[in-house]
Amino acid sequence: MIAIIDYDMGNLRSVSKAFEKLGATTVITRDPQVIAKAERVVLPGVGAFRDCMGHIEEYGLVEPIKEAVAGGRPFLAICIGLQLLFEESHEDGIHKGLGIVKGRVVRFPKPHREARSDYKIPHMGWNSIKRDKDSALLTDIPDGEYFYFVHSYYAECEEPGVTLTTTEYGVEFVSSIERDNLMATQFHPEKSQTAGLKLLKNFLEI
């Protein structure tokens, strides 16, 4: 059973439906006991960092999330879920994150006159990934595969060996991370068609 954490800021149903399409059983929940008993945990997210952290704190989910990661069960964070894992975000001020991964979240550089014509913020649409290391999460997913992104901020990871893939968009940024049982993607696998479903299937098999 997969616990999809509900803190009123995620694209919960689309994530749940993607897993259900693969034959998995999911529950959308903010109950710490349900999260603690789940075989796998998913932290999705859409919205502003400050609001997301505010809701996580309001619903008492900080410790259940940290315990799920520390407990060794497969844990997958998606989009702003990835950003929340870091120590702080510079979105509309400086805001404290979960602090599970060392680093910070910053905004893409503003476009300038010499920038390519399709460089706009937010980074929205299909873009490719470049592997930084091997991973079971990327089994049968080729280097250079395309995934769907929607974000204006990205993570600067300061923890050696954690970056799984990078992507180029004005700068080379971290598009996914992995440390032991903890995995996270800046892109949306649930919106990334065949490649995204393959990644979610790999997560189910880890």
Domain residue ranges of the chain, discontinuous segments joined by +: 2-205
Distance CA 46, CA 26 (A): 19
> Of 16-30, 117-131, 192-206, which gets the smallest average pLDDT?
117-131
Joined together, the tokens standing for residue 206 give: 């880890």
Peptide bond before 122: cis, by omega within 30 degrees of 0? yes
Q: What is the DSSP string of 54-112?
A: HHHHHTT-HHHHHHHHHTTS-EEEETHHHHHTEEEE-TTS-EE---SEEEEEEEPPPP-
pLDDT at 114: 60
Q: Does residue 108 come out as left (phi exceeding 0), alpha (psi in the -120 to 50 range) or beta?
A: beta
Which CATH architecture fits 2-205? 3-Layer(aba) Sandwich (3.40)
Residues forming the active site: 79, 188, 190
Residue 62: band (very low, low, confident or very high) from pLDDT cuts 50, 70, 90: very high
Residue 118 pLDDT greater than 80, yes or no: no
Segment 143-158, tens digit of pLDDT? 999 999 999 999 999 9
What's the whole-number mean pLDDT along residues 118-126? 92
Residue 117: band (very low, low, confident or very high) from pLDDT cuts 50, 70, 90: low
